[in-house]
Structure formats: C-alpha cells, structure tokens
Amino acid sequence: MNVKKILELLSDKFVEAFEGCGYDSKYAKVSISNRPDLCEYQCNGAMAAAKEYKKAPFVIANEVVDKLKSDAMFEMIECVNPGFINMRISAQAIKEYIAELAANYDKPLYDAKDTTIFIDYGGPNVAKPLHIGHLRSAVIGESIKRISRFAGYNVVSDVHLGDWGLQMGLIIVQLKEQQPDLPYFDDSFEGEYPLEAPFSVSELESIYPTASAKSKVDEDFKKKAQEATGLLQKGHRGYTALWKHIMNVSLEDLKKNYEKLLVDFDLWKGESDAEPYIADMIKDFEEKGLAYESQGATVIDVALDSDTKEIPPCIVKKSDGASLYATSDLASIIERNKFYNPKKYIYVVDKRQEMHFTQVFRVAKKANLVPDDVEFNFLGFGTMNGKDGKPFKTREGGVMRLENLIADINDAVYNKIIENRETSEEEAKATAKIVGLAALKYGDLSNQATKDYVFDIDRFISFEGDTGPYILYTIVRIKSIIEKYMQSGKSVDVSKLDCPNNASLKALMLELANFREVVDGAFIELAPHKLCKYIYELSNVFNRFYHETKILTEEDEDKQAAYVAAIALTKDILLCCIELLGFEAPDRM
Ligand code: ARG
C-alpha cells in the first residue's frame, strides 16, 4: 500500500535503468546482499539478461551501473565480475526511508479488507483436557491469524471443536452406569431437564479417560457408546440435553485455558454445527454422480493422474449410515462458504492429518462446494518432542496437560527472576507469566511449523540466544534507555532520525528497513518462524549498536536524538512483531 518495501524502491530504480538501456525490466530484481562484507544490496539480473541479449553480463551490468551511478539513492554502486551489481544505500536515502517507515510501519500490506481468510485452528476435543498436542495448533494458528489481519485481510477464526464424535457417546454411557437414575436416561421423561450439569469439570475430565479405557477392553461397552453416539447425532432428547451440559462445562474450561495463552477465536463452532448440512450434501454428491457405494460405504474418488502417491477415495458415509471426520469437515465448508464466503481457507492441524485434508479439499473442489478461485491451505505441523526425541510426556510418562506445562515454565522463569534481582513476589509472578508465555510461544514458533521440535525448557527460558526472553530483554532494555532519556526532559522525535557516520546504527536502520518485506513473507508462506528469525536478528543488531555506542552520555544532542529515534522505532517494530507472534513484553525483567 502506501509504504513501499525497501527492495521495491530499489527495484524501481533498476527497472528504469534496465529499460533505459533497452533491457527487459524482469531482470531488475534487487535482493539483500548475501555478502554483507562487500555490499548491502545486489542485483544479479545482468547474468540472466546476458543469455537473452547475447552480450557479456559485465557489459550489461556496466551499462546499468552507468545509469544509476549519480543517483542519490546510492552511496556506492559497482559492477563486479562476472556481472553482478553491488550497492550500498546512501545515508540520506536510508534516513528518508526509515522516517517514512516510522510513520507507516503498521499500515496494512494489502488493500484487502473485503477479502476473507478463514482460519481453522485450535481443534480441541470437548470433554478431554487440553493437552500439548493442541498447543501447537493454537499457538501457530493464532500467529497466522494476527499476521493475516496485519496484512490487511478480513480474517475469521474458528476453534472447530471436536464435539460430535465417539467421545460423546463414551461419556454418555459411562455416566449412565454411574448415575442411572438421571432423567436423561429415562425415555419416558417428558419434563424439563435440570439446568445444573450432573458433574463438575474435574468429574467430567475423569469420566472420559475411564470410559475410553473401558471401551478398549469391553466390546459391549464400546458398542453401547457407538449406539449412544448415533442416537445423539439423530437428536435423542435426553442425550442432547446431556450433551449441552458437557459442552457448557467443557467450554468454560477451554476458554479459560485459551485466554491464558492469549489465543482467541471469532467462532466457537464445532463438528456438531455441520450436522444440519450433511443429509443434503450427501444427496447432492450422489445426484452429481460423484459418490458411489463401495463395500457398503459411500465414497468419492479423488485421485488424479498427476499424483505421485496413492490418494484413496474419500469416505463420506459409513456402511451403518454414520458420518465421519471427512463428512463433518466437508459440511462445515458448506456453512463457511455460505456465511463468510472466504477466498482462502487455512487449516492448522497436525501434519499426520494431511491425507484427510487432501481428500476433503479435493472433494470440496470437485463438488463445487466453493467457487473455483478459492484456495485451500493445509498447514500441517510437526510434533513437540521431549529431549529424548520422543513425543513430549510428563515425568511419569503420561500425556502432559497444557495447564501443567504452562505452570512449569512460569515457575522456572519466576525462580530466575528472583535470583536476578530484588522484586516483590507479586511483581515477579506477573512478570514470570508474561515471560513464560513468550518463552513457550517463541520456542515453538521459531521452528518451521512443519518440523518436529524439541521442547527444552532450560533453553527456552534463557535470557540469551535465540529465545523469547532474549527478545523481551532487548525490548525492556530499549524501554529503559528511552525512559532515562525522557527523564532528562527530552522527548523522542522521529524527525531527528539520521544516519550519521556510525556503522552499527546504519546496520540497525538497514535491518529495520526489512520489516515489511519480512511480514509479507511470513504472511504469504504461512511462516511465523520468519518473523522470529527477523526479531532475533534485529535484537542482535540493536544490541551491537548499544554496546558500541554511548547513547545517554552522547554530548552532541542531534546525534543523541537520532540514536533515540532509531531505537524507539526498533522497540515499536519489535513490539509489533511479538504481537503478531501472540505474546507481550513486561516493563521490567
Ligand atoms: N479435533 C481434531 C483433533 O483433535 C482437530 C480438528 C482440526 N480441524 C478440522 N477442521 N478438522 O485431531
């Protein structure tokens, strides 16, 4: 939109120069130098252009350099063998760019507020406690949502609860065994059901594991649970009333947990909301000639000639008439399309579900559940492992509950804070919460989402290195410098931005200049780790500048004001990035 990216500005110059010399502008791409010791930016277009124009690359590069040599944008521009163009931007140009950035860094990247992106993440299963398997979906999805919004899109997020499957039947039959006299199990009961749930959250949480374990050894029990699930899905009155209690009790707890994670959803829909669309959808599949019967089940072929591995048909109805996971995902697409008309869907789910989503997306396209130009994205994430390289477990070997994991991190950070400095218990606790969440989220998000990663609490909470606390520490450091500066009666003034002869300040300004490019990359590639990498680098260049430059004791007031303006923007951009990643910074650490 209004603020161009620095690379665009540079490329614009090259477009003019290439065209001015009679060459196609497609060769005019500028990139950040991969040899920062030689130059800041480079253009390698002459190498490719040489083939088309049958000239030596050096000749082309030289012609282009001649056109740009006297441009005020460059402090240095030269052609090096065999035809690369290296350049350094002038102090004046970077200063102007950064001033523009300071005024506009948080403006949308695209003019897209009328285009909707629908993000499906979280995906907890009702009545089962949130465990760390659901952590990644929540953390990554939340960041993708915030980045997409920042990019300028209208974004709708849905937690998509697992609220309609066998676990519901299991709970119902287990409860029936424990409290057979409840009115929900009395088919002749016609009165109003109680408003109070017949269990508390903690009771509910113990019911599911008991029932689940029993269903693995007791065939009869399992069958009863399947029947109860079927009855619930068909609208059984007592079971529906009970289901509502399960939902209420469970949701209250889930919401509390997501709030702690600074994760929130626009929609709290679930698999059950898809139910009303299913019957018509299956009929439509059949009428379109897409669905056919195979071994009693109803399936749709989705394999393509271009497939390199086998993609089995998508089962949309089981032989006993029951719906499956794919059925409810397809039916929810119908609902989403109807109410939100998204151009793009993003599902943030464990990568082991990739086949399921390949099938679902193909059926959705084949059956025209969405317009042709709609884009489906599956962002499949890897597993969070323990130091032993196996999926993360508690010390006792059980599944770690998210709440306990968070408490462990907070305790570790708390101990570190009280070791480091005098502070009240209350403040240390509050700070530990903020820093702990940053440690957890950064530890996750700094890895490419598709990869597995090792959960290493000691590393994640370290104040040094590529960690959340290091980033926060940098922000806190800048805040404190600015505070002291202001205490001396001065104020931060962006118009004082300058790039005097100070290499580490220029390096900081160049890094700041990459900001919008990086956010755009993170948005397009669904890659929050790119944002983490950026703030790590930005923190490093800031800290180098800080160590090499006296800021508060600088006597030249213009210079000092320029330094403070640059670090204030550094802080703002770091804060903006951590907000996009989904965590906050404390005032002190
Ligand atoms: N509840 C599912 C699970 O725990 C994840 C749901 C993901 N979203 C979806 N639309 N299928 O595996």
At 150-197, the pLDDT tens digits run: 999 999 999 999 999 898 999 999 999 999 999 999 999 999 999 999
Residue 273 CB–ligand 1 contact under 6 Å: no
Handedness of CA 261, 265, 271, 273 (dihedral sign): positive
451 Cα: distance to centroid of ligand 1 (angstroms): 19
Cα–Cα distance for residue pair 318/377, rounded to 1 Å: 27
Statement: residue 399 has pLDDT above 80: no
Residue 275 CB–ligand 1 contact under 6 Å: no
Residue 349 CB–ligand 1 contact under 6 Å: yes
Task: Work out the pLDDT band at 504, boundaries 50, 70, 90.
Answer: very high
Tell me which of 143-152, 347-356, 494-503 is least confident: 494-503
Stated pTM of the model? 0.95
| Residue 134 CA, closest ligand 1 atom number | 4
pLDDT at 1 (0 to 100): 45
Token pair in block for residue 171 = 């709970």
Contacts 24+ apart (CB under 8 A), 250-256: 250/126, 250/127, 250/201, 250/204, 251/126, 251/161, 252/201, 253/201, 254/124, 254/126, 254/130, 254/159
Contact 455, 385 (CB under 8 A): yes
Q: Beta partners for 291?
A: 300
What does each C-alpha distance from 122 to 28, 130, 161, 225 come to in angstroms? 43, 10, 8, 26
Mean pLDDT of 116-121: 98
pLDDT at 498 (0 to 100): 94
Contact 18, 50 (CB under 8 A): no
pLDDT at 2 (0 to 100): 61
pLDDT at 397 (0 to 100): 72
* Three-class DSSP category at 130: coil
| Residue 133 CA, closest ligand 1 atom number | 4
Helix (H) or strand (E) holding 87: strand 84-89
Task: Work out the pLDDT band at 421, boundaries 50, 70, 90.
Answer: confident
Tell me which DSSP letter residue 270 carries: B
Tell me which DSSP letter residue 367 carries: T
Residue 120 CB–ligand 1 contact under 6 Å: yes
Statement: residue 395 has pLDDT above 80: no
What pLDDT digit, counting tens, does each position of 457-500 carry? 999 999 999 999 999 999 999 999 999 999 999 999 999 999 98
Residue 63 CB–ligand 1 contact under 6 Å: no
Residue 125 CB–ligand 1 contact under 6 Å: yes
Mean residue pLDDT across the chain:
95
Contact 367, 288 (CB under 8 A): yes
Characterize the bridge pairing of strands 116-120 and 154-158.
Answer: parallel
406 Cα: distance to centroid of ligand 1 (angstroms): 22
Mean pLDDT of 111-137: 91
Question: Amino acid identity, residue 330?
Answer: L
pLDDT more than 90, % of the chain: 88
Contact 412, 440 (CB under 8 A): no
Helical segments of 5-44, H only: 6-20
| Residue 161 CA, closest ligand 1 atom number | 1
Token pair in block for residue 166 = 């066998």
**Which residue, by CA, sits nearest to atom 10 of ligand 1?**
329
Probe ligand 1: pick from 271, 353, 369, 399, max atoms within 8 Å of CB?
353
Residue 160 CB–ligand 1 contact under 6 Å: yes
What pLDDT digit, counting tens, does each position of 263-304 carry? 999 999 999 999 999 999 999 999 999 999 999 999 999 999
What pLDDT digit, counting tens, does each position of 96-113 carry? 999 999 999 999 999 999
249 Cα: distance to centroid of ligand 1 (angstroms): 20
Residue 516 CB–ligand 1 contact under 6 Å: no
**Which residue, by CA, sits nearest to atom 6 of ligand 1?**
123
For the packed helices 515-524 and 528-548, what is the interaxial angle rounded to 10 degrees? Answer: 160
Tell me which of 312-326, 437-451, 469-483, 555-569 is least confident: 312-326
